[in-house]
Amino acid sequence: MSELVFPLINNTSRKIIHIDMDAFFAAVEEREDPSLRGKPVVIARHPKETSGRGVVSTCNYEARKYGIHSAMSSQEAYNRCPHAVFVSGNYQLYTDISKQIQEIFHQYTDITQPMSIDEAYLDVTKNKLNESSAIKIARMIQQDIYTKTGLTCSAGVSYNKFLAKIASDYKKPAGMAVITPEGAVDFLKQLPIEKFHGVGKKSVPCFHELGIYTGADLYAKNEMDLIRLFGRMGYSLYRKVRGIHNSPVAISWNRKSVGKERTYGTPLTREDEMQKELRKLAQRVEASLTRTKKHGRTVVVKIRYEDFSTFTKRITISENIYKTEDIYHYAKEIFDEAYEDEKGIRLLGVTVTTLSPLYYELITLPLWQETSN
Ligand code: TTP
Ligand code: MG
């Protein structure tokens, strides 16, 4: 029996488009050097130049046929397809094209939320063309991008961001999918669980263990159970599988920081609890950084005590970080130095700032991974 804990309010009045470029870096390289077309192209330095320690940024669809994908070690990519062409990235060019694409979006609406170098949400409920069909606008944008940059993108059209993103992925490359309020639940029920935004690779086995393989399996679960099992994500998935996701398109040109904080109704008094909470916040910061493909060099911790006195301190390091363990390490260092013994804590916050784009190709794997592929 499903017990409803919180109300289910579904905002279906918006018209949202999600645009995502196809094999972005690789497509740019093919445009610059047409002799690459039809060949498997991998954006990474050749493993011979990096002693196998490089990582694949992305690859074209030809290379994907060999099982190559983003974040794979370039050595592994080479093993799978030795005749692939390895191209090291030209990040300045990708950034310039990304700006060009953003300008195209702004011809239609100023309510755009870039999520990474090659994807953005647009709210076209009201738009500069007074065009009532979001589908027509999406088609125009695809055409404009192609004419101005020579590159293809995929578009998703729906009434919320979650569905628009799933839709843009559905007909890749160069395609478009539309999900209507009437069609949303049926569409979601047939999707594999890993396609639900928020279900990371690491948690897929957990869902499988619980017998959740598809949207339909998720739909059958009751809200309290999902919250008990997955916390915040359970709450949100219970809604998402019902086509509910009300978060608006947030105008965020270039995010300067990613921070998470939490207020505690019952102040934290035990140090182990405080550390657990810091780690949870670091985890949420990692999730946001990964989503927006950013990493940063400054960690900030905010502490508000029971008496409402508030403290913030930052630490800037020489390397960019984004992983929970690293964020937690520095957050805890700040915390240990700052915490005033015996005071109860009402609020904790962890932020990573001084952000820059995260391209795996620029990262070298730790040495211990060298032999693991
Ligand atoms: P994506 O949109 O995830 O990938 P893509 O555009 O190459 O391919 P798709 O057609 O499936 O959308 O990422 C956009 C760009 O961001 C990608 O071209 C390269 C870069 N990138 C990295 O550098 N590292 C990564 O791990 C990922 C996922 C992307
Ligand atoms: Mg893309």
CATH number of the domain bearing residue 264: 3.30.1490.100
Given a contact cutoff of 8 angstroms between Cβ atoms, the answer to whether 249 and 294 are in contact is: no
Nearest ligand to the CA atom of 294? 1
The number of C-alpha atoms within 13 Å of 366 and in the hemisphere containing its C-beta is: 2
Domains of the chain: total: 3
- Choice among 29, 30, 62, 119 that is catalytic: 119
CATH number at residue 198: 1.10.150.20
Does ligand 1 have an atom closer than 6 angstroms to the CB of 154?
no
Which range of residues forms the domain containing residue 306? Answer: 257-357
119 is a catalytic site residue: yes
User: What is the pTM (predicted TM-score) of this model?
Assistant: 0.76
Question: Are 219 and 275 contained in the same domain?
Answer: no
Phi, psi for 294 (deg, rounded to 5): -130, 160
Per the listing, tokens 């260092």 go with 333
Q: Kindly report, residue by residue over 57-77, the tens digit of the pLDDT.
A: 999 999 999 999 998 999 999
pLDDT at 254 over 80: no
- Give domain status of residue 158, yes or no: no
Please write the tens of the pLDDT for every residue from 300-321: 999 999 998 999 999 999 888 9
Which ligand 1 atom is the nearest neighbour of the CA of 361? 23
**What pLDDT is attached to residue 290?**
86
- Which tokens is 101 given? 């694409």
Residue 311 in domain: yes
Residue 178, SS3 per DSSP: strand
Indicate the pLDDT class of residue 261, thresholds 50, 70 and 90: very high
Q: E-assigned strands of the chain?
A: 16-21, 41-43, 58-59, 85-87, 112-116, 119-123, 153-158, 176-178, 257-268, 294-305, 310-321, 345-357
CB of 23 shorter than 6 A to ligand 1: yes
Confidence at 294, pLDDT banded by 50, 70, 90: confident
What is the rounded average pLDDT of the residues 217-242? 93
> Which token pair is 7?
């109300």
pLDDT tens, residue by residue, 348-373: 999 999 888 776 544 444 444 333 32
Q: Indicate the angle between helix axes 134-149 and 91-106, nearest 10 degrees.
A: 140
Percent of the chain with pLDDT over 70: 93
pLDDT tens-digit profile of 180-200?
A: 999 999 999 999 999 998 888
**What angle, 0 to 180 degrees and rounded to 10, lies between the N-to-C axes of helices 324-338 and 271-291?**
140
Q: Is 158 in the pocket of ligand 1 (CB under 6 A)?
A: no
Does 346 lie in the same domain as 262? yes
The pairing of strands 294-305 and 119-123 is unpaired
In a domain? residue 176: no
The reply to whether ligand 1 has any atom less than 6 angstroms from the CB of 58 is yes
Residues 261 and 247 in one domain: no
**Amino acid 360: pLDDT:** 52
